[in-house]
Amino acid sequence: MTRSVTKHLPVPASLLLTCLLFLPLDAMATGNEERRKLHNTRSTATNSVGQAGDAVRARMRNRDKLLAKRQSRPGAVPPTPGQRQQHAANQPVERAKNRELLAMYANWLPGQHSAAQSPEDSRWSTGGQTHTLREQHTIHHVVNRLKAQLGKPYVWGGHSPESGFDCSGLVWYAFNPLLNRKLPRTANAMYQDRQLNPVHRQQLRKGDLVFFSIKTPNAADHVGVYLGDGQFIEAPRTGKNIRISELNNDFWKAKYLGARRVIKESVLL
């Protein structure tokens, strides 16, 4: 019986050493990479669960706050019959105020609205004249102060609702709290004041001062405030009450001396 003998070729020692060194290191590197991936996957899942839990807890806290706020809010109480009557009585007054405001804004010129809007950009136009929004509000305030004194008696030298008013005292009371440059106290001093702009009769606008010479030639001894539509408000004389008069009345046409404009942007507080 013949036995076959396999001849093994010799393997270089350097190749054996390389195989022994690098094969285990590759396996170890592959195992470490897999463990890192697994760890990252678990960390991501843990973070997602934690964030979801935080969001749920935040929603529950907000809900509890809203419920507590709602429970602490007093319930709506229906108005009493007296309150309903008072509300109904106040409605015509509020509507009248709203109509007055709407009429005041009727001539608004289109333009941009902004917090930094300058007076030159916010112009009003009435009868070909222009005035700023601030001027218009001041005129409205002055007229309201004047009309609140209607029916009160004329008192020579008076300049307050408590003491009464004469003609210049009424003007002094209505305008001066709104001006940084105050008006003089007498009608003629107002008329002679060079800081007030003269106004032609055809260019009168609400809030202008109108002067008359009744007893003193070429000097103003009476003053009123123009309201528009040919009317002015005045404290006439002893024995009479503060009233609204017609500028086109024959008496006032004959005594008319001139007009001055008080409300300007430069003099407003």
Q: Active-site positions?
A: 167, 222, 234
- Our measurement of the distance from residue 34's CA atom to the centroid of its chain's CA atoms, rounded to an integer in Å, reads 66
Strand partners, 63: none
Task: Judge whether 201 and 252 are in contact, CB under 8 Å.
Answer: no
Q: What is the DSSP letter of 214?
A: S
Rg (CA), the chain: 45
DSSP 62-101: HHHHHHHHHHHSPPPPPPPHHHHHHHHHHHHHHHHHHHHH
Round to whole Å and give the CA distance between 163 and 158: 5
Say how many C-beta atoms besides its own lie within 10 A of residue 174's C-beta: 24
